[in-house]
Amino acid sequence: MKLTGAEIITEVLIEQGVTDLFGYPGGAAINIYEALYHRQDKIKHYLTAHEQGATHAADGYARATGKTGVVLATSGPGATNTVTGIATAYLDSIPMVVITANVGTDLIGKDSFQEVFITGITQPITKHNYAVRDIDKLAETLRDAFRIAGSGRRGPVLVDVPKDITAATYEFSPMPRWEEPKVSSAPQSELLKVADLIAKAKRPVVCFGGGVISSEAGGELVEFVKKARIPTCHTIMGTGVIGFGDDLDMGMIGMHGSMTANSAIDETDLLLAMGTRFSDRVALNLRDFAPHATIVQFDIDESEIRKNVMADMAIIGDIKTELQSLIPLVEGKERPEWLETIGNWKKEYDIINGKNITGIRPVEIMEVIGEKCGSDAVIATDVGQHQMWAAQFCKKTRPRGFITSGGLGTMGFGYGAAIGAKIALPDATVFHITSDGSFHMNMNEACTAVSNNLKVITVIFDNKVLGMVRQWQTSFYNRHYISTQPERKTDYVKVAEGFGARGFRAETKEEFEKVLDEALAGEGPAWIVCPIDREERVLPMIPGGGTVRSAIME
Amino acid sequence: MNEKKAIIALLVENNANVLSRVSMLFGRRGYNIDSLTVSETNDPTISRITITTQGDDRIIEQIVLQTRKLVEVKAVQLEDENEAILRELLLVKVAADESQRATIRDICEVYKASIVDFSPSSIVCELTGKPSKINGFLDVIEKYQILELCRTGVTAMDRGNKIMSCENKESHKC
């Protein structure tokens, strides 16, 4: 059948299983919107306040489900507004397809109105991108985009489509949805070597990251560490996989990780790294990272091996498949001394400090959320101190329940991401944990939550300062507080009401419990602002380049 | 850090932007490009790029692995400087009046360079060869006043039966 380019786009989206997309219309994109108008039975478009919000929403949607998130934006500023969201997805390996409209082919390269070379701009922040120049390549290109975004190491792919191509017609035949074939496992001989290393290790540690979630290997990971009895820590991207409080769980690793996890890395003789890329927030000092360990690195992306940390052995492939093959090869081996050491560290170090802190504390907020909403709630965060507190205290016990910008560290990520997660999982309780700094970046997305009556509960950790930078100024810059104490007078309750949302304020734990109940009982989005003591810091902290021995504890 | 020179050959899809993709990867990861050549191959859908770069073993390994990840890159191989055929072309315009022409011609003869242009005050010499030969020629010719110089950069190919062909990356019917 002959279809217009715009119709081909919607048909390929439907064919690829897309039911929701996020975007913002404009002159160059209007044909695509016309095609969407006629396919509202199959695919729902969510209009955001800003294209950045659309990309974060698609990202949150993808993180909450594993499905590829889809964004539609117009040319020029519409396209450039997607850049931060694309980079956020790229750094965390999140599957996303971004379709940007462009000016007509005859106007390209002439600095036309709302023209920008978006494929050039996004080259270093996409897994791949395409500038479609012929209608006969359109369907194939879009299918390739979904295949690339959703296979191997996931990532964002951008497809730029000029307006005249959305109007041209071409023969279209539907194709079945593409499914990723299973990546074959590493040779048995290699896995036997790993099993042998595990059997001989006295102080083994597993450290895993977002790759385990991306591969849906959470169940296998837990089965593996429980069978082999290996203490386990995770990067912020791996939050939620292993049950909080499990005797093998040591919490988060890295700059604001637990002392137990960082101490274990310092002493381990066998480090099994799974789906983690040893960023500078995890391996703060490359030379002194796991100094006594044989390091075995499992990754789907061969270029991650020896990029940052020198691994002694590498297993390349899908971690789920690798773990399925590895589990039968390992034996349960109790290492009472090692577990006792770890237990002692937990007792000694992993307690929450905070002398002279007044008012409601971040840990209390996270505890109340955990108690009231359990582990099925989805938590999306912004970036900064509140993000670290959320990660440290959320006690998540399921994958895909903690959504955060780990790699790029994008302030303003959270609201869009929470909206996307709520759309993906309408029955889930969805929290957006934010702060006054991050929230001011993209609070405009409140209108999206209101328009779509999405019950996203925003909790604002309001310390009236840009807390993380200020914490660095406190610790390393002689308390030279420049540009971190903005003296904003925002009345969040009024602003929430102004957007048509509900606003609450809680100054104590008891008040927070009460208003959270109200917020959960009502309809539509709610904001709860909690004034936080600005001297509250994220601890422990290992300064950049340091090791657990240089950690700041209080 | 043992910095060494490396010559990397790539087979890439012959698309617009592919060169910018490869060079941007080098730029963003901080790898230096010393020289780069690119041209279409016998298969018009495939181009061949030869890059010379520098780094320690780990950097060179990273360059190969990162480059291989690009969707449009179909094959990557490191060329062994001692085994592969390496060729580069030099054009150099040297100031030369009548009194200097004979000596310059003698030098060219020794290096098997050709003189491709004469003017009353200058000579253009052309030399094809491996980079070390070109460097040797330049060491001598530099005694004269060089007015203009350009080198194409190295292009490389394995000797014998070893054929560089597209890898079986599932993404492309190559």
Mean pLDDT of A214-228: 97
* Known active-site residue A250: no
B-chain residues near A124 (CB < 8 A): 24-25, 28
Whose tokens are 């934010």? That residue is A434
The whole-angstrom separation of Cα A378 and Cα A370 is: 10
Nearest CA in chain A to B28: A124
pLDDT tens figures, B104-134? 999 999 999 999 999 999 999 999 999 999 9
Residue A391 · residue A402 · CB < 8 Å: yes
Q: What is the pLDDT of residue A133?
A: 95
Q: Does the pLDDT at position B33 exceed 90?
A: yes
A119–B66 C-beta distance less than 8 A: no
Q: According to the model, what pLDDT value does residue B171 have?
A: 40
Q: Would you say residue A194 has pLDDT above 70?
A: yes
Whether A128 shows a pLDDT value over 60: the answer reads: yes
A22 carries an active-site annotation: no
Residues A62-92 pLDDT 10s: 999 999 999 999 999 999 999 999 999 999 9
A126 touches B: beta carbon within 8 Å? no
Identify whether A117 is a catalytic site residue. no
**Domains of chain B and CATH, by start:** 4-79 (3.30.70.260), 85-155 (3.30.70.1150)
Whether residue A120 and residue B71 make contact (CB cut-off 8 A), yes or no, is: no
Phi and psi dihedrals of B30, rounded to 5? Answer: 80, 20
Please report the pLDDT score of residue A179 as a whole number. Answer: 83
A113 is catalytic: yes
Predicted confidence at residue B173, as pLDDT, reads 33
Alpha-carbon distances of A62 from A57, A395, B54, rounded to whole Å: 9, 22, 39
pLDDT above 90: residue A528: yes
Instruction: State residue B155 phi and psi, 5-degree precision.
Output: -120, 145
The model's pLDDT over A340-384, given as tens digits with 9 standing for 90+, comes to 999 999 998 877 665 667 789 999 999 999 998 887 899 999 999
Instruction: Provide the 3-class DSSP secondary structure of residue A461.
Output: strand
**Residue A123 is nearest to which of B20, B62, B68, comparing CB atoms?**
B20
Contact A548, A265 (CB under 8 A): yes
| DSSP-derived secondary structure for A516-540 | HHHHHHSSS-EEEEEE--TT----S
Residue with more model confidence, A272 or B81: A272
At residue B145, the 3 state secondary structure works out as coil
Q: What average pLDDT does the segment B46-67 reach?
A: 95
pLDDT higher than 70, residue A228 = yes
Average pLDDT, chain A: 95
**pLDDT value, residue B174:** 33
Chain A: closest CA distance from residue B162 (Å): 25
pLDDT at residue A181, rounded to an integer: 81
pLDDT at res. A353:
61
pLDDT tens readout for residues A430-445? 999 999 999 999 999 9
pLDDT at A46 over 80: yes
Q: What is the DSSP letter of B30?
A: T
- The Cα A152–Cα B170 span in angstroms is 11
B172 pLDDT exceeds 80? no
B66: closest chain A residue by CA: A303
Is the per-residue pLDDT at A282 higher than 80?
yes
Complex ipTM value: 0.90
The pLDDT, as a whole number, for residue B41 is 96
Q: In order of start, what are the domains of chain A with their CATH numbers?
A: 2-171 (3.40.50.970), 188-349 (3.40.50.1220), 362-531 (3.40.50.970)
Encoded amino acid at A225, one letter: V
Q: What percent of chain A has pLDDT over 90?
A: 89
CB A233 within 8 A of CB A207: yes
- Beta strand spans in B14-45 (E): 33-40
For B59, nearest residue in chain A (alpha carbons): A307
Q: What is the pLDDT of residues A386-445, one digit of tens each?
A: 999 999 998 877 899 999 999 999 999 999 999 999 999 999 999 999 999 999 999 999
| Region of B67 on the Ramachandran plot (φ > 0 left; ψ -120 to 50 alpha; else beta) | alpha
- Whether residue A114 lies in the annotated active site: yes
Which one of A307, A308, A316, A318 makes the best mutation probe of the B interface by having the most chain B beta carbons within 10 Å?
A307
Summarize pLDDT for A477-497 with one digit per residue, the tens: 999 999 999 999 999 999 999
- Answer for the pair A253, A207: CB distance below 8 angstroms, yes or no: yes
Residues A267/A203, Cβ–Cβ less than 8 Å: yes
> Which of B28, B58, B65 lies at the smallest CB-CB distance from A124?
B28
Cβ–Cβ gap A303/B62 under 8 Å: yes
Q: How far apart are CA B37 and CA B88, in angstroms?
A: 10
Distances (CA, A) of A343 to A250, A255, A261, B163: 9, 21, 11, 58
**A185 is written with which tokens?**
């496992």
Given a cut of 70, is residue B46 above it in pLDDT?
yes
User: How many percent of chain A have pLDDT more than 70?
Assistant: 99
